[in-house]
Amino acid sequence: MAKPATTPRSGLRKLPSQARSRARVESILKAAGALLGEVGYDGVTTNLIAERAGVPVGSIYQFFETKDDIIAALVERFQARIHKLAGEELDAASVVRDRHAFVARLVEGIAGIQAEANAFVCVFSGSQSHARFDGLARELRATLIGHLDQVFSEAFPRLPKAERGRMLAAWSDITGAMIATLDRSKPGERGKLLEELKTILSAYLDAKLAATG
């Protein structure tokens, strides 16, 4: 009775096996991601998500145990994207070759999945308000900062470890703040804000490197 009919994976209460339900799960995730950007984590209610997704509340709980599991599913996708970026485009050699291009690819990569990025922001910078996100936030840190830390330590061996850590923490904070702004920006501004974020991170990186030689 409480046993799910299909083996649960990936934070889903049960795997949607029919096309109909798979589409529903997608619409729920999409609605939740968009709403996160618009009204923030605590502004998001299950009823809001359901309404936006065009499904009744009950359907949400057909596939997700809790509201937070929706966020968690989005974060999982975010992490998958980071892994993909890491494997394909963001290695030590490419930072050394052209660090501004590296920053640009990172920014574009994250901004390319706005709904998931909104979940990242909510968990990453909101974990202090919601203890249940602690574990997820740690994972996120390991995924994003951990990878960059490795790349940078290889690319810039003269930059002390502590400095690198502070810089990457700040990078994440800055990126998170701008992602949030991005989501509320007018369509025409979006591109300019992305350029702004690239400028900020690049200038900051340059300054850190200049300070250490």
Partner DNA sequence: GATGAATATGAGTATATATTCATATTAACC
Partner DNA sequence: GGTTAATATGAATATATACTCATATTCATC
- Binding region for DNA (CB under 7 A): 5-6, 14, 16-21, 24, 44-47, 55-59, 61-62, 65-68
We find the least distance from the C-beta atom of residue 210 to its own copies, in angstroms, to be: 9
* Residue 169 contact among its own copies, DNA, none, beta carbon within 5 to 8 Å by kind: its own copies
Q: How far apart are the first and last CA of the chain?
A: 65
CB atoms within 10 A of CB 24: 19
* Residue 57 contact among its own copies, DNA, none, beta carbon within 5 to 8 Å by kind: DNA
For residues 99 and 48, is the Cβ–Cβ distance under 8 A? no
- Pick 68 or 163: Cβ nearer DNA: 68
Footprint (CB under 8 A) of its own copies, residues 129-168: 129-130, 166-167
d(CA 9, CA 200): 39
Footprint (CB under 8 A) of its own copies, residues 12-41: 38-41
Residues contacting 103, CB < 8 A, separation 6+? 198, 201, 202, 205
Radius of gyration of the CA atoms of the chain, in A: 19
We find the least distance from the C-beta atom of residue 18 to DNA, in angstroms, to be: 4
| Listed residue (159, 163, 71, 175) closest to 115, CA to CA | 71
Please give the residue ranges that form the binding site for its own copies (CB under 8 A).
Answer: 38-43, 125-126, 128-130, 166-167, 169-170, 173-174, 176-178, 180-181, 184, 192-193, 196-197, 199-200, 202-204, 206-208, 211
